[in-house]
Structure 1
């Protein structure tokens, strides 16, 4: 299958999952997971960091496969590389926003 069509089908599948989730009633996180998960900005940022790292490793593996001749899917490797790049840029923007918010809170008078 064409990598662009595969990416489109993946995105359509994700959109369908989001539509199904949006139709479901909203439940607290403890009911979804079955256990109380630690909530917090630090844990959320760490999860996002791990997801971005996984995407970068996946893109690196795809590019290495193309470089070594194991794969001829250059378009797919470039798409993975762009996904990782966009994810990393978004993560940096979130980090910068969190940092500036922390600086503002710290500079507030008591």
Structure 2
């Protein structure tokens, strides 16, 4: 079984870009598209963490022998989490810059 991690990451980036392009349009909630996009990103990262944990647990208990798949899933979840933390840091930095602006 071969897993193309680069392809999975590219698909994830394309999906995120499509969601961002769709978030530019006002939503029925009055412009909550950006908040929904962030919420979806956090939920996707959480789901990846849980899936990776399940795969690693299956390998540890002997229910599966796909060690490579479990490690790739774990690394992908780690990268997703790192990307989410860096996005948070950029948002907080932008917020701090806005707060410090002179009116």
With the shorter chain as reference, the TM-score category is: 0.7 to 0.9
Structure 1 stretches of 4+ with a deviation exceeding 4 A read 35-38
Q: Tell me how many residue pairs correspond in the alignment.
A: 91
Larger radius of gyration: 1
**Structure 2 contact 5–72 (Cα < 8 Å) conserved:** no
Deviation, 1:42, is 2.2
Deviation readout 1:25-67 (Å, 9 max, x if unpaired): xxx849xxxx857544322111100000000000000000001
Structure 2 partner of 1:8: 4
Cα distance in 1, alignment partners of residues 46 and 5 from structure 2? 24
Structure 2 partner of 1:56: 49
Cα distance in 1, alignment partners of residues 80 and 6 from structure 2? 17
Q: Equivalent of 2:69, from 53, 76, 80?
A: 76
Q: CA RMSD in A?
A: 2.8
TM-score by structure 2 length?
A: 0.74
Report which structure shows greater RCO (CA 8 Å, sep ≥6).
1
Judging changes above 3 Å, is the alpha-carbon distance between structure 1 residues 50 and 9 closer, same or farther for their aligned structure 2 residues?
Answer: closer
Structure 2 residue runs without a partner (length 5+) = none
Structure 1 residue runs without a partner (length 5+) = 23-27
TM-score by structure 1 length?
A: 0.70
